[in-house]
Chains A and B, each alone.
Chain A
């Protein structure tokens, strides 16, 4: 038994006469009682990239917790999963095994690896691209269906040029999945988001080094629980139409539009990585040629495919009507995720303006962010924003920039800006 994929479409299919734009939210859920059963999960390989730059010793709890977390991740690996531990500085060094290869997890290799990790010392610079480059080399020798890296850093990517970093990311794209985490106060949210976005993983910052072991366990468990590899979103659209965008909108916003791989004139694939028992939402927006009132057109056929088989498929329709009560109805899901996507971008734009000293733009953007977070009940983001701005009135988005902001608060707000919440599906009836 493999995972059961199901999908649901939320849209207002009714367009006014001459209307062209069709928006839909597709919720895809992979489930199955045996999804976590060892016999159905995919073969896996994992590389742990631990920042051992000198700053990891300031304070010493960072390197201590990072070692503990790495040990926990090693213990979470299933028997037989190929793994390696890499120490990252201005270069990348094999910690375990001693040479550039991966070894299968078993009681002996786990013990050896943990012993090697315990001897780690913090010393050196930060060049994340070099670490990823070594991970890519290690994975290239593996046949595993899920290739997963964990990247931990505490500082800015100082010891390589942005061009070199980008070149490595491009080389790694599609080769393995990478979850990245920042610890301490000096990591840079945009760098972590870039890694996560390109390598189809997650990015987050940890406020306290003591959260590291739990985070490493969760990332490793999620990777071990993947049961379908190389899943792509496949979108068919009719002749004469244009795809405005395809975005993942839950659990985080990720614009997939430019990642399209043409399958045929009508069909394109968008990579989504590997799936375990999980649920993701997508927002697709298509511009179609208007038809006569009363006519119905298939605006998009939306499916998930893996290895040539269709896991689930849904239709996005367009129907033209002269009934304005129907055509003007706003779909709550579409409205909600349009707001969540705007929330992510106004946070990023607001923080950027703030860094550049553009108080007016920063205040306007972050004010709008507070308003959107408030409207959508996104408490996590609302709380983070309150560390960066003083909220005068949330419903109108009236804010003042805080004079003193801890650097990490701005980075946390930034790295989590793409995290979305779902709309409460069914509002309880009044009375």
Chain B
């Protein structure tokens, strides 16, 4: 009987490949997992009139082309994400990118800052550049902490590049949170107020919002800002042409057991922010990461959907050499 040394027998004896890792059960040859990534970036069809094209403005109706999809579901099985425009905003300016590589899972969530123009260009540019740089670093020998820093620097550069030459007052800008899951650790890095949660044994919020309120709540001294309102949720760090910040705060966790890493924008945690409640919501009936992401998005929409929502769910542990 053919069977995989890691995943046991296939569901049917005729199968020549392990359904989990793709190992050839006849030759024993393992599969090199190709690096794959998916982005919430929109296709070519104008949301205003349906014409397709590639120009930044629709060639028929003139509407600025949305960079992101109004609703996107990204699924690489062990890592998945959902983003949604919500109920109040005219466009979805959140961006999410997920990836798997031979060694783990990666995701980045960026929340376009709504007071700036074309922040969806900044959020998508940053999320895609961040994931690309992280994958590049991890597959050339960098450790997750180094990779996290390189990812944020690449994202900062991309967000700055999203500004046109004539946008000086409020250039496109966004938040940034990255997550890397390997067989033994979870590493997150962030700039801004998008969050990472550990959902599993000892659930926790891993990030500290870059706002005055966030810093004070974490027991840190009040940051030196113009408007020292202790309840202010206004960002004190972000990515964009009006920011020189690129160094993320980084946290690494070695979880005691199986669980999930959740990355999300405030469109979700505005409605559900307690780590234990999030864990409960994420584990109630949902088995796969995509189902968890769908369910949490639905929670935010049912709560009112005041903002764009982006949710990425990464399975821990990421199985080495495994696509699952």
Contact = CB atoms under 8 A, between A and B. Distances in A.
Question: Considering residues A240, A241, A298, A299, which has the most beta carbons from chain B within 10 angstroms of its beta carbon?
Answer: A298
A292 B91 CA distance: 11
Contacts of B90: 292, 294-295
Interface in A267-298: 288, 291-292, 294-298
Contact of A266 (B49, B59, B63, B91): B59
Given A294-B90, A296-B117, A315 B57 contact: yes
Given A239-B49, A315-B57, A295 B62 contact: no
A238 interface: yes
B61 A240 contact: yes
A297 B64 contact: yes
Interface string A214-254: 00000000000000000000001111110000000000000
Interface in B290-322: none
A295 B90 CA distance: 7
A241 B62 contact: yes
B63 A291 contact: yes
B167 to A, nearest CB: 11
A259 B299 CA distance: 58
A239 B62 CA distance: 8
Contacts of B91: 294
Nearest to B117: A296
Contacts, number: 41
A298 B58 CA distance: 8
Interface size class of B (residues with CB under 8 A): 10 to 19
Interface string B77-95: 0000000000001110000
Given A292-B90, A294-B90, A238 B117 contact: no
B64 A298 contact: yes
Contacts of A240: 61
Contacts of A292: 90
Contacts of A239: 49, 60-62
A237 B62 CA distance: 8
B57 A295 contact: no
A319 B91 CA distance: 14
A231 to B, nearest CB: 23
Interface in B22-53: 49
B62 A288 contact: yes
Contacts of B64: 295-298
A241 B90 CA distance: 21
Question: Considering residues A236, A297, A319, which has the most beta carbons from chain B within 10 angstroms of its beta carbon?
Answer: A297
Interface string B177-217: 00000000000000000000000000000000000000000
Contacts of B49: 239
Contacts of A288: 62
Contacts of B63: 238, 291, 295-298
Interface in A156-199: none
A285 B58 CA distance: 20
B322 to A, nearest CB: 44
Interface in B237-271: none
Contacts of B61: 238-240, 297
Question: Considering residues B58, B61, B62, B91, which has the most beta carbons from chain A within 10 angstroms of its beta carbon?
Answer: B62
Contacts of A236: 59
B91 to A, nearest CB: 8
A15 to B, nearest CB: 13
A238 B51 CA distance: 12
Nearest to B57: A298
A10 to B, nearest CB: 11
Contacts of A238: 58, 60-63
A21 B58 CA distance: 19
Contacts of A301: 57
A237 B58 CA distance: 11
Contacts of B57: 297-298, 301, 315
A266 B58 contact: no
Contacts of A298: 57-58, 62-64
A298 B62 CA distance: 4
Contacts of B62: 237-239, 241, 288, 297-299
Contacts of B117: 296, 319
A53 B259 CA distance: 100
A288 B63 CA distance: 11
Nearest to B64: A296
B307 to A, nearest CB: 13
A239 B58 CA distance: 10
A240 B58 CA distance: 13
A397 B253 CA distance: 78
A196 to B, nearest CB: 35
B194 to A, nearest CB: 21
A292 B85 CA distance: 15
A239 B49 CA distance: 10
Nearest to A301: B57
A315 B57 CA distance: 10
Interface string B55-78: 001111111100000000000000
9 contacts: A238-B62, A239-B61, A239-B62, A291-B63, A296-B64, A296-B117, A297-B64, A298-B58, A298-B64
Interface of B: 49, 57-64, 89-91, 117
Interface of A: 236-241, 266, 288, 291-292, 294-299, 301, 315, 319
Which 3 pairs of residues, A with B, have the shortest CB-CB distance?
A238-B62, A298-B57, A298-B62
Given A239-B61, A294-B91, 12 more contacts: A236-B59, A237-B62, A238-B61, A239-B62, A292-B90, A294-B89, A294-B90, A296-B64, A297-B61, A297-B64, A298-B63, A315-B57
